[in-house]
Chains A and B, each alone.
Chain A
Amino acid sequence: MATFASHRKLSDNSYIEIAGVEYDDFEEGDIFEHRPGRTLTADENRLHTMRAADLSPRVVDAVYNENVYGGQQVIGETFVLSVVTALTTKTFNKVVANLGWKNIEFPTPVMAGDTIYAESEVLGKRESQSRPTQGVLHIRTRAVNQRGEEVCRFERRLLIYKRGLGPYEAAGY
C-alpha cells in the first residue's frame, strides 16, 4: 500500500486518478518536493503584468528598462509568488480555500530564463472549529533556482478536506 496513492481502484483493472493528500495524512515536519519545476520567461512576465492593467515602462519599454534598471529582465515578485504557490497544488490539491500568506521573502531575484523548484514543509495542523469536514494546514514553502539559490520562501495557511469528507465522488473525482 502506497503512503500516498495516485489512483483509486474503481473495479478490476479500472483506476481513476486522484490528487492531493488528505488532511489526516499530513504530519508536522513532513517535507514534500514538488515537481515539475518551472522556467519563467520575460514574455510571460510581460503578459501577466499587462493583464493586471499595469503599464510599468520597466516591463513594456525595453529602452526604459535599459536606462533606468540596467536592462536586467527581472521576473516580477507577484508572478514569482504565484508560480511558487501554484507548484504546490498537486500535494495540496484537497484545498478548500487559501487563507493567506505570511513572511514572504525573496532572497535572490528570479531572472528571465531561470527555472525554479519548490518544496513545502508542514509546520502544523489543526482542526477547524467552524468547519467539521476540514482542517487548517500551516506550511512553509521554499523555492530554489537551477543553481540551488533560494529565490522565494513563505508561510501559508490553507483549509484542507479531511478524509472522505470532500465533495469528490459527487463531482466525478
Chain B
Amino acid sequence: MTELAFTSHVKVGEKRYRERFGLDFEDFATGQVFKHRPGLTVSQQDNVEESMDTLNQAMIHFDERYASTTEFTKPLVVSTLTLQRLIGLTWKTFAKKIRILRWADISMTRPVFGGDTLYAETEIKEKQEVPNDPTCGKLTVITRGVNQQGTVICSMEYDLLVYRKRYVPFDKIQY
C-alpha cells in the first residue's frame, strides 16, 4: 500500500517550500507504528569513543583481546551507545519532543557488534492529555531497535511530552 501521510514541506511562497519535521501531538494516535529512517551502522571505533567519552571502564567494549576470550569473541557495543542512537534516529517523527519524562523499561534483547546497522521503529502505546498544560500532551511509546538481519536487539518503553500544533512559534523563527 502506498498512501502518503503527514507533511514534509510547508509552502511559504510561490515555488518556495520549507522543510518541516516532527509530528504535532494532535497527529499521534494509539496503535500507530513509525519506521524511522535512515538506519545507522555502528563501528567498533564508535564503541571505543562512546566508552571513553562517558568514562566507561568495562573492557568488554574496547579491549579486543579480552573480548576474544569471552563467549561473544568480539567487543560488545556498549548499550548506552545503542540507546542513544535509537532515540536519535527517531528525531524526524519526534522533533517536537519537549523531553523524555521516564523510561519504564529498557531491555537489551540481543548483543550488538561493530559493523551492525541499527534501525528504529516506534509504536504509540498511549496518548494522554497533560492536566493544566495546554501546550503539550504525553505519549507512552515503545521504541525497538532492529539490526540488519531483522532481529530486535533492544526494546524500550518511555513517556515523552510533545508540543501541540499551535504552541511552537515556527513562523517567527522561520521554521
Contacts and interface: CB of A to CB of B under 8 A. Distances in A.
B164 interface: no
A67 B172 contact: yes
B102 A103 contact: yes
A104 B159 CA distance: 11
Contacts of B80: 78, 81-82, 85-86
Nearest to B94: A56
B102 A57 contact: no
A82 B57 contact: no
8 contacts: A54-B87, A63-B173, A67-B173, A78-B80, A82-B80, A96-B71, A97-B111, A104-B158
A167 B101 CA distance: 39
Interface stretch (A2-10, A21-29, A43-51, A140-148): A43-51
Contact of B99 (A77, A99, A104, A170): A77
Contacts, number: 142
A171 B66 contact: yes
A93 B53 contact: no
Nearest to A69: B98
Contacts of A167: 66, 69-70
A4 to B, nearest CB: 15
Given A95-B60, A97-B76, A171-B66, A82 B107 contact: no
A130 to B, nearest CB: 11
B58 interface: yes
A172 interface: yes
A97 B111 CA distance: 9
A18 to B, nearest CB: 11
A12 to B, nearest CB: 27
Interface of B: 21, 38, 40, 46, 50-51, 53-60, 63, 65-66, 68-72, 76, 78-81, 83-89, 91, 95, 97-108, 111, 158, 168-169, 172-173, 175
Contacts of A69: 98
A106 to B, nearest CB: 7
B105 A102 contact: yes
Interface string A73-84: 010011101110
A68 B173 contact: yes
Which has the most chain B C-beta neighbours within 10 Å: A19, A57, A68, A79? A68
A132 interface: no
A98 B100 contact: no
Given A93-B57, A100-B107, A103-B104, A78 B83 contact: yes
A105 B102 contact: yes
Contact of A53 (B40, B72, B99, B104): B40
Interface string A25-66: 000000000001010000010001101111111000001100
B65 A172 contact: yes
A127 B122 CA distance: 34
Given A38-B55, A67-B172, A171-B65, A51 B46 contact: yes
Given A67-B173, A86-B55, A97 B83 contact: no
Given A53-B89, A103-B104, A104-B106, A82 B84 contact: yes
